Structure 1
Amino acid sequence: MDRRTPSFGEALAVWAKIGILSFGGPAGQIALMHRVLVDEKKWMDEKRYLAALNFCMLLPGPEAMQLATYAGWSLHGWRGGLAAGTLFVLPGALVVLILSMIYAAFGQVPVVAALFFGIKAAVLAIVIEALLRVAKRALKHASDWWIAGLAFLALYVFAIPFPLIILAAALFGFFRVSTAAPETAVTTTPVPWRQTASTLALWLALWLVPLGLIILCFGRDHVFAQTALFFSKLAVVTFGGAYAVLSYMAQQAVENFGWLTAPQMIDGLGLAETTPGPLILVTEFVGYMAGYRNAGGMWGGIAAALITLWMTFTPCFLWIMAGAPYIERLHNMPRLSGALAAVTAAVVGVILNLTVWFALHVLFATLTRTRFGLVPEFSSLDPAALSLSVIAAIALFAFHRGIIRTLLLTAILGLAWKSLF
C-alpha cells in the first residue's frame, strides 16, 4: 500500500469532515473512518487500523472517538490526536447543546421531531451497512463467526456484562492455535518510561484539577460538582460504549439526582442517536438539563453541559495519549494479537446487538423484555418508519448514495409524512 503522511492542514479538514459525517453510532463511525483513512486516503493500513480498533475496544469511553484520536496521533503526534479527537466530538456537541436548549425551553418542537423521525430511520440502514462492512473485515475464520454469534447471544439473551464477554473472547484468542503463516515482525521504537509518566501526569492534571476546583468553589452538593463527579466516575466504567451504561446513568440521573424525568431521558437519547458524534453525547443533554433545572436556567445549563463534556472526554485523551505509543508492539506479540483479533470478532456480535436494539426501537412502539431479550409487539410496527428505513437501505445499497444525501432524503420524507399525517 502506498502510504503517505498528509500535512496538518490537510488532515485537519478530514477530521472536521469525519466529525460532521459521524452519524450512525460506533458501527457507522468506525466504518466511515475505515473508508476515509484506509480505503480513500491510505493514511493507515488495514493491520494498523484494526490493531488500533482492538486497543480502543478495550478502553472505557467511546471507541470511535478514541480511534479517531489515535489516527490523528499516528500522523502528527499529540497535536494531531488532540485535533482529531476534538473535531470528532465538537460538531455533535454543538448540535446537542443547541437542541438541548430548545428542548428545555420549549419542549418537543414538531418540526424537529419530524426531521428526527426520518433521520432515525436512515440511521438504522446506515448501522446495518456498517455492521456488514466491519463483519466482512473482522470475521476471517470459522471460530470468529462462532465468537461473534456467542457474543450476540450473551448480550441479547443472557444480558452478560460486556467486560466479561470481552475477557472470554480475549482468553480464547490468546490460547487459540493460529494456522496462519508467521508474519514479519514490525520494528518499533522503545518508549521511555519518563515520556509515558509525563503524559499521564499532564492529562490526569487536566482531568482532575478542574474537578477539584469545581468542588472547592461550589461545594460538593452543588449541581456543578455533582455533574463533574458523576460523569468523571462514568468515564471510567463505560466499557462497551454508551449502551452499556445507559441504564445505570438513567437510574442515577432520574431517580437519585432528579435532574430530569424518564421521558426526558428517552428524548435525550433520541437526540444523541440522530446527531453526529458519539452516542455518549447523551451525557451532555443530561448535564444541560441538570444545570437548567438547578443552576439558574440557560446559562446554568450551558455551564453544566460544558463540565459534563470535559469530564466525559478528557479521560479518553488520557488513555490514547499514554497508550498509543505501545499499539505498534501488538504486531510482535502473536498471542496478544490473537486475543485482540478474537475481541474484534466479539465486537461484531456487540454491534449486531446494538443494531437489533436500535431496529426494534425505531420500528416498534411497544417492546417487552423477556428472558430471551426484547420482544416487539408486532401490532405496534410503525409502517412509516419501516418504509423510510427501506428507502434509506435502497439509497445506500442499490444506488450507493452517500450518508449525508441519504439522511437528507429521509429527513425530508419524515417531515412530509408528519405534515400529512
Structure 2
Amino acid sequence: MSSDSSPAAQEPAAQEPDLPAKSVPPGLLSLFVAFARMSLAGFGGVLVFARRAIVDQHRWMTAEEFNETFALCHFLPGPNIVNLSMVFGARLRGIAGGVAAFSGLLLPPTLIMTVLAALYVHFGELELLRRSLAGISCAAVGLLIAVVFRMMTPLLKKPDGVGLILMLAVFAAIGVLRLPLQAVLLVAIPLSVAVTYVLRRKVAA
C-alpha cells in the first residue's frame, strides 16, 4: 500500500509548477497594484515583468495560457501590453478587472513621463543625457530578446513542426522581406486557424 500511494501523492506536486497556484481570482486592488508594479519596473519593456509577475510570481496563468493570451493581443489594434492588461483583467474580474489592470498599467508611468517630459524640455540637449538614452535602448533590446526566448520555452517543450514553420514564415515575411504587417496578418491568421483546425480533427479522429 505504501509503495503504491507514495508516487500517487508525489505526482500532483510534480505538476504543480505548471498550474496556477491560486484558484481564487485576485481582487481589483490586487490587479491594479500588480500592474502598477509591472509598469514601474518595466524600464525597457513591461512585457518582461508582466510575464514574470503573472506566470512566475503570482501564477495567475500558466506559461501556455500567457502565450495564447499575448498572441491574441498581438492581433488586436493598439499596444500589445495594453491589450494584455485589458484581456487579462477582464478574464479574471470582468470589465471592472480590465479597467483596474489597465489603470494600474498606465497611470503611474503617465505621471512619471509627464514630469520627465517637462525636464527633457530643459535638459534634452545635454550630451550626457543622449548617451545615457542610447545605453538604455541597448538594454531594452536585450530585455525583449530575453523574454522572447522565455516565451518560446513552452513551444520547444512540445515540439510542433507546423507551428514553428508558420512562426519562421511570418518572421521572414516581416523581418527579412519587409512585407506590410497588415498583409502578412491577413494571410497568417486564417492560415494558422485552418492548419490548427485540420490537425486537431486528425488527432480527434
**2:199 is matched with which residue: 175, 178, 182?**
178
Q: Is the 8 A contact 2:28 2:96 kept in 1?
A: no
From 68, 76, 79, the counterpart of 2:96: 79
* From 13, 17, 22, the counterpart of 2:42: 22
Contact 1:56 1:63 in 2 (8 A): yes
Q: Residues 47 and 152 from structure 1, CA distance in 2 versus in 1: closer, same or farther, beyond 3 angstroms?
A: closer
1:231-246 aligned within 5 A:
none
- For residues 87 and 151 of structure 1, what CA distance do their matches in structure 2 show? 32
How far is 1:47 from its partner? 4.6
Q: Which stretches in structure 2 are left out of the alignment for 5+ residues?
A: 1-18
**SS of residue matched to 1:61:** coil
TM-score by length of 1: 0.39
Paired letter, 1:65: V
Code of the residue aligned with 2:180 in structure 1: it is P
Shift of 1:132: 0.8
Q: Deviations over 1:318-350 (max 9, x none)?
A: xxxxxxxxxxxxxxxxxxxxxxxxxxxxxxxxx
Aligned equivalent of 2:188? 169
- Secondary structure of the 1:178 match is helix
Percent identity, please.
24
Contact 2:35-2:104 at 8 Å conserved across structures: yes
The CA distance in 1 between the partners of 2:193 and 2:138, in whole Å, is 39
Query: Contact 1:31–1:133 (CA<8 Å) still a contact in 2?
Result: no
Name the counterpart of 2:27: 7
Structure with the higher fraction of residues in helix conformation:
2
- 1:84–1:74 Cα change, 3 Å: same
Q: In structure 1, which of residues 160, 165, 184 is the aligned counterpart of residue 179 of structure 2?
A: 160
Unaligned residue ranges in structure 1 (runs of 5+): 183-421
Q: TM-score, normalising length from structure 2?
A: 0.73
In the superposition, relative to structure 1, how do residues 164 and 92 fare at CA in structure 2: closer, same or farther (>3 Å)? same
Give 1:192's aligned residue: none
Matches within 5 A, 1:15-414: 15-25=35-45, 29-138=46-155, 140-176=159-195, 177-178=198-199, 181=203
The answer to whether the Cα contact below 8 Å between 1:31 and 1:134 also exists between their aligned partners in 2 is: no
CA distance in 2, matches of 1:6, 1:127: 27
Letter in 2 for 1:122: A
Q: How many residues align?
A: 179
SS for the counterpart of 2:199 is coil
Q: Is the 8 A contact 2:34 2:104 kept in 1?
A: no
Report the aligned-residue RMSD.
2.5
Alpha-carbon contact 2:39-2:109 (below 8 Å) kept: yes
SS at structure 1 position matched to 2:60: coil
| CA separation of 1:128 and 1:62: change in aligned 2, threshold 3 A | same
The runs of 4+ residues in structure 1 deviating greater than 4 Å are 179-182
